[in-house]
Structure 1
């Protein structure tokens, strides 16, 4: 396409394009492109001129053509919808007056670093190399749904969306400020996108939702030091996200829900030092996920509920003080816990389960302790499970449960039975040594032995011939009845404990 009315600034761009050289309109490297609306014609380039260059621009033999600008004010809409651009597009520190439309376009590379844009429409975009919006200021939505980027997507240091005013509405002077009806549109839309290597968004600031539903990232997603703010809404909507390696989000700050439901992340979800806040709602939803390791080491206490239902983890690294007041752990499976702590510090979490008593949660915690060889902690968890279950039983069953707990700790404290038997044996032996019960048949009775007589009363399945030969009287008779009844209870509870121990093995 021939351009006949080019301005001096546009002529510079035209001449540099064929050679792949850059044109720098900036007065200083640190100038702020947010002031670009005031830039004059000496650094203004029409979007239609750039489009003509990219679609059918001049080339020169032996040179690699390309668009490379710094500090330009771009007027009009850069419309490359469905276009195919064979040259790299690099527009750094530029000020766009209108939202570029790259829907369905095919590009070699797209670099918009340090630029200011009212938005970016690029759904179904195809990029052979990389897409960069590093340190850009984009007030409207960045629409990349269904995009395919063979390399990486860089959004580190970018600021997306417009901070709300004190009354919750966008400032009226914001470029292309969305009206109330568009307030819920995500500021970054990567849903169903395919990124060949990484999504690099270190230090990203988003005033609104990030949507990555169904996206596939070949490498890692890096949100270290990012700030995501969508109060009362989902700040990161990443359901069924598939990541090749890790989701890094150290020191992440989130106001709203962090939603990873159904995600597949084989290595780490690293939320160390993060701060998640969504009071009165769900702050972290990672249900039905398959994750290698979930880390919340040194994170701030979570404000809002946590939902990990039906997820599968290899390692769960969450200190007890990080967990919120309400959790949903139904069906959660994990192999190991970190840091390794006594069972007494982990058990209060299971009392916060929104669904109430869930035996599986206790069994899972006990299994995690067995995995690292801490059988004592596993027994403590199993005992806590039975005590919690006891609260769900009718009164008569609770009484029997209390008796088993006090006597043998439901079979997990077998030494208690030995202690009770020893106390009763000593008491009975002393009582009957001081007052021998009379013999039923004095000429046939064996010699009286208070110890074996007490054992005869306590152990109904063992007979030493003492109980049948002597008959106590008065209160001693009632004491012998007490020993018989207590013996039956101890034997029954010990048998129940042995049965439970065998069933565990």
Structure 2
């Protein structure tokens, strides 16, 4: 490009480039970039001039060339497809009339902070430094899928609006980020896709908003994050997909709002997460799916849970905050798959790790009661009997109460009406208490039952005591065996 073909504004940028000097056309630091379409020729630069600068402009010896431009209106398509750009490019507070197409390019670094543009294509590219899209406003797609970024990615305060697009509004799938991914306050209208992305540092989505009601708001299947994912105060209207994700640190969704009525609000099935926090969040609107996930620390209050969850084969080491079993059990009863024994075992193990054996027994009792509902009528009948008598082995005092009550009943009855002796000359002195114990206890014998024979109603009472004693003994043995095996 000949220098004689440049406008005064372009000539100013051209002369500043070899020395890496900044050119700022702004009239004030806080001017509205969205009104850039009305800016005149005194601050208008053609995209082909910027391309010529980045690819073939002359350089000055001893200087580091760089494109540092602010407050310009850029006309035409900035096309750097397959280009190799050796110089840093900062195009901040600029208004682009046409999309930026940098597909499969190699860049030193790219800074578009506070700029407005229709769309950005950066897929399958390589950026040897940071990518800055801070506070950018985009009215179309941002495609960064498959890109290798050595530095951090900054999308904090950006707004991407493409709700009716047939493709995701923000695409970072299969991208590799060598440092942090910072997107605090990001707002996306349309789907955000992070499937298969790898982030070496932290992911910061604090105060971010993802709007795609009725669809996929944030898709991050198989996401790999080597540190924390901070999503405090996140707002998601649509599904969040984290299936198969690997998050080494904490996934913090504290004080968040997840809404996808009639669908799945959050799916983290088959994921591996260090800690999952939902402290102080609004009740989840939609299904919560944690099937087959492995989470070291699961932190939430019962009030956060939706009406339906999926927790089959969910494993966790610690459950916080520590709450009574009756506060946690409704979570297990909301699984749409019905009775899930594994979930009860996981909750029992969590209580036992912290030494709360009482809560562990409560969970095991609840498991037996839930299991009973799945049995045929005779199994349910036997279950009811075990519950009433010994509480499935977790209420041993109930058996003692039954035994004492029956002992008192039999003792009083036979004390008031002594049964006749079978052989009066050989019979020992009658004792109503020990006679009743002989009837109740199927193994121990005090020599009273075989020596005396009640008649009439008292004989019927003896049959009742014998049968009841056998039932109590059987249920006690079954319950104790179950309890000991769990210990």
Q: Distance in 2 between matches of 1:439 and 1:4?
A: 134
Deviations 1:133-172 (A, max 9, x none): 100101111000100100000000000014x6xxxxxxxx
For 1:184 and 1:297, how far apart are their aligned partners in 2?
A: 35
Aligned with residue 412 of structure 1, among 394, 402, 413: 394
Residue 73 of structure 2 corresponds to which residue in structure 1? 73
Report the equivalent of 1:503. Answer: 485
Q: Which residue of 2 aligns with 1:30?
A: 30
The yes-or-no answer on 1:112 pairing with 2:112 is yes
SS at match of 2:5: coil
1:6-17 pair list within 5 angstroms:
6-17=6-17
Partners in 1 of 2:15 and 2:239 — Cα distance?
50
Q: CA-to-partner distance for each residue in 1:266-301, whole Å, 9 max, x for gaps?
A: 110000000000000000000000000000000000
Q: Which residue of 2 aligns with 1:189?
A: 171
CA distance in 2, matches of 1:354, 1:490: 36
Is the 8 Å Cα contact of residues 44 and 73 (structure 2) preserved in structure 1?
yes
SS at match of 2:249: strand
Q: Contact 1:3–1:49 (CA<8 Å) still a contact in 2?
A: no
Map 1:247-396 to 2 at 5 A: 247-396=229-378
- Structure 1 unaligned runs (5+)? 165-179
Q: Partners of 1:137 and 1:316 in 2: how far apart?
A: 36
Counterparts of 1:433 and 1:80 in 2: how far apart (Å)?
106
The separation in 1 between residues aligned to 2:409 and 2:43, in whole angstroms, is 103
Checking the alignment, whether the CA contact within 8 Å between 2:3 and 2:11 is kept in structure 1 is no
Deviation at 1:3, TM superposition (A): 3.5
Partner of residue 136, structure 2: 136
Does the CA-based 8 Å contact 2:252-2:276 persist in structure 1?
yes
Give per-residue Cα distances to partners, 1:412-465, cap 9 Å, x unaligned. 111111111111111111111111111111000001111111110000101110
Counterpart Cα distance in 2 of 1:125 and 1:132: 15
| 2:183 counterpart (194, 201, 204) | 201
Quote the offset at 1:2 in angstroms: 3.7
1:174 corresponds to: none
**8 Å contact 2:216–2:240 — kept in the other structure?**
yes
| 1:23-77 per-position Cα deviation (integer Å, ceiling 9, x unaligned) | 0001110001100000000000000000000001121111111000110000011
Quote the Cα distance in structure 2 between the aligned partners of 1:259 and 1:294. 15
**Is the 8 Å Cα contact of residues 9 and 45 (structure 2) preserved in structure 1?**
yes
How far off is 1:200 after superposition? 0.3
Partner SS for 1:74: strand
The 5 Å alignment of 1:83-162 reads 83-162=83-162
**Runs of at least 5 residues in structure 2 that lack an aligned partner in the other structure:** none
Q: Count residues in correspondence.
A: 487
Q: CA RMSD in A?
A: 0.9
Which whole-Å CA distance do the structure 2 matches of 1:342 and 1:131 have between them? 48
Contact 2:419 2:452 in 1 (8 A): yes
Match of 1:442 in 2: 424
**1:497 deviation in Å?**
1.0
Query: How far is 1:80 from its partner?
Result: 0.9
TM-score scaled to structure 1, two decimals?
0.95
Give the 3-state SS of the residue equivalent to 1:235 in structure 2: strand
TM-score, with length taken from structure 2: 0.99
Deviation at 1:184, TM superposition (A): 3.1
Q: Distance in 2 between matches of 1:19 and 1:485?
A: 102
Q: 2-side partners of 1:106 and 1:396: how far apart?
A: 73
CA distance in 2, matches of 1:2, 1:125: 30
Structure 1 residue aligned with 2:216: 234
Q: Distance in 1 between matches of 2:376 and 2:18?
A: 86
